Amino acid sequence: MGADSRAEHAGRGRVVRATLLVACGALLAGGCATMPDSGEVQPVRGSNTGDSQVRVYAVAPRENAVPDEIVDGFLEAMTSDDPGFATARKYLTKKAAGTWKPEQSITVLATAPNRKQADRNADPDKDGRVYPLAGRKIATVDARHAYQPISPADYLWSIHVVQQPTANGKGREWRIDSLPPGLVLGEADFLRNYRSVNKYYFASGEDWVVADPVYIRQRQDPVTRMDPVTQTVKALLDGPTNWLKQAVDSSFPSRTTLKAGVTSLATDDQSTLKVPLELQGNRVDGVACRRMAAQLLFTLRDLPSVRVEQVELLYGSDSLCRLGKGQAAEFAAVPETDLDEKPYFVDAQGRLKKLMVAGRETASPVDVPGPLGKGTVRLGSIAVDRGETRAAGVDEPGRRLFVSSITTEQQDSRQPVLSSGGLRPEDRLSAPSWGGRGDLWVADRNPAERRLLMVPGGAGEPVEVRTPWLGDDRIESLRVSADGVRIALVIRRGERTTLQIGRIERHTTDEETTVSVVDLQPAAPRMESVTAVSWAGPSRLVVVGKEAGGVQQIRYLQTDGSTSTTSVLPGLNRVSSVSAPHTESVETPMVADSEDGIVRLPPGTNWQPVVKAGGSPVYPG
């Protein structure tokens, strides 16, 4: 890197200023210089910003660098885009450089690792120097790029520095011979270098796709040298993350890879992305190839660096198939015709109503056909199926669940689908939720028989879902994803409520089909309490909760628990429920139930009141 684009550096993780025409070779003990990709030079702090336009360039250790400088320089070099982390390896002994595998894992800390002072009483010639690293661990990322959050916990590791002969054999130099595995990054450095991307696979046995979020490098990957598009394609071909793989299928044959040596993929002048593949065994047929191409199109659609209108799969010099975005739409979990969503709610008389909201405007609520709209049963909570043909409602006392048409004035049978024997309203039925397969889900919170129940097709005999993890915990509320593969659960354990994501598995034998929710994963581990949750897209949630010592907030989270500093929404007082459309378009407002009644969040503004008396606002699903 040229001397005209380096920044002065003062200690681990603190870039004091970025200045043009500053020669820092002698000024820098080691580490990195930081510069924006574009725009004016501005002051930055590498450990306190997630700005992806900031670049960190690795700087090799200077001659006769002292141990403190070696450790600080290495920690800073881990945050760079240096190809192969070659400069970072210069801080290591030859053996350590050969065994260190930065691509295997990432440990994410709340802030950049805090390097403590080494024990000055130790004999450096005999024992070297040991530098403790401390911080608050908040997540890990595995070799398959899957983000796994944890409740913040103390992180403590150490780096050991020894003296070794210099290359010319005429002196000795300090180098690291023991270090943490993988990369160790503060959250800001992690978000600056990596971005969340949804891979897509097919729900097992179905014709619609499921989002599988992973993290890839924002720019060229230092290890593979692949650009973001190629990284994303490779991640898709590598298969689903370990958590999701039991519930989804990939249409790519086993061991399918990118053609050897491919590190860059770009569209042509028709926005077609040609993807050369290496296939093992027999060629794929046309149906399988279309599904493969659909997986690619869904996966690439949110990448900011490329606009892909169609995908062409290649094997050698042969074209296997070509598929456009319009053709791939048939594999969406929610058809485009269902994306013009309008929310429903329960009015002051316990009747089902529909809100006509769009952009910044809201019309008066409209009546809904059927018994639930007539008020023959006074409702407390509701759910509307994805096609907006049926609604489910739990009565105000929470005892009974009803299902009826909302397109015709069907006769009122007043026969509940199921009932709860709980003594108190809070110990009875939760608000219901429709799953992507058309099934209806609800929790019975009766302490004598806590259960998670599914009503097949919304009309069959209720099935008790297997929940081996439930024990004495209690499901306060639930929302099933549009793809029917995942379920978001607000679970109470003692005085604490947490948000968990479970995987829905179905096993069919000759006698019966069993449904289970398994392998719960925390989705908001930094929140001390969670009040409400809603799906807000294929892998995004909107969550109402509080962090320790904080106030109630509404924010977006990914289903893997990751977040960003821009995910917090405008504040609102005493929110009891929230609902967002499946589309991530900002033109469709979110709705919530607060102390001010039902409110909506139009694009670019604050919350606005809609209905003073009413509750349980929900979008279809």
Whether the predicted pLDDT of 44 surpasses 70 = no
First to last CA, the chain: 53
pLDDT in tens, 478-525: 999 999 999 999 999 988 999 999 999 998 877 788 999 999 999 999
Whether the predicted pLDDT of 1 surpasses 90 = no
Q: What is the pLDDT of residue 436?
A: 85
Buried b (16+ CB within 10 A) or exposed e, 166-182: eeeeeeeebbbbebbeb
Strand-by-strand arrangement of the 590-594 sheet: 577-579, 590-594, 597-601, 608-611
Whether the predicted pLDDT of 562 surpasses 60 = yes
Q: What is the pLDDT of residue 27?
A: 37
Q: What is the pLDDT of residue 585?
A: 61
pLDDT band at 329 (very low <50, low <70, confident <90, very high): very high
Of 10-24, 405-419, 570-584, the poorest mean pLDDT is in 10-24
Name the β-bridge partners of 350: none
Smallest CA-to-CA distance from 540 within 562, 512, 518 is with 562
pLDDT band at 125 (very low <50, low <70, confident <90, very high): low
Q: What is the pLDDT of residue 363?
A: 65
pLDDT band at 569 (very low <50, low <70, confident <90, very high): confident
More confident residue, 459 or 142: 142
Distance (Å) of CA 247 to CA 266, 437, 584: 32, 14, 24
What is the C-alpha separation between 226 and 229, in angstroms, rounded?
8
Whether the predicted pLDDT of 298 surpasses 60 = yes
Q: What is the pLDDT of residue 12?
A: 40
E strand or H helix at 46, and its extent? none
pLDDT band at 621 (very low <50, low <70, confident <90, very high): confident
CATH topology assigned to domain 336-618: Neuraminidase (2.120.10)
Using alpha carbons only, give the angle 230, 232, 237 rounded to the nearest 5 degrees: 95
Smallest CA-to-CA distance from 543 within 519, 565, 516, 563 is with 563
What is the C-alpha separation between 583 and 590, in angstroms, rounded?
11
Q: What is the pLDDT of residue 154?
A: 97
pLDDT band at 565 (very low <50, low <70, confident <90, very high): low
pLDDT band at 418 (very low <50, low <70, confident <90, very high): very high
Which DSSP category does 75 fall into?
H
Of 82-96, 164-178, 399-413, the poorest mean pLDDT is in 399-413
pLDDT in tens, 428-477: 999 999 998 899 999 999 999 999 999 999 988 999 999 999 999 999 99
Indicate the domain borders of the chain. Answer: 3-192, 244-331, 336-618
Q: What is the pLDDT of residue 15?
A: 33
> Average model confidence (pLDDT) for the chain?
87
Q: What is the pLDDT of residue 412?
A: 59
More confident residue, 135 or 4: 135
Smallest CA-to-CA distance from 18 within 48, 45, 43 is with 43
Directed axis angle between helix 228-237 and helix 286-300, to 10°? 130
pLDDT band at 395 (very low <50, low <70, confident <90, very high): very high
Q: What is the pLDDT of residue 602?
A: 83
Whether the predicted pLDDT of 48 surpasses 50 = no
Smallest CA-to-CA distance from 164 within 124, 130, 118, 115 is with 124
Single-letter code of the amino acid located at 345: F
pTM: 0.88
Q: Which long-range contacts link 82-85 to residues 24+ away (Cβ below 8 Å)?
A: 82/57, 82/58, 82/222, 83/220, 83/222, 83/225, 84/222, 84/223, 85/58, 85/222, 85/223
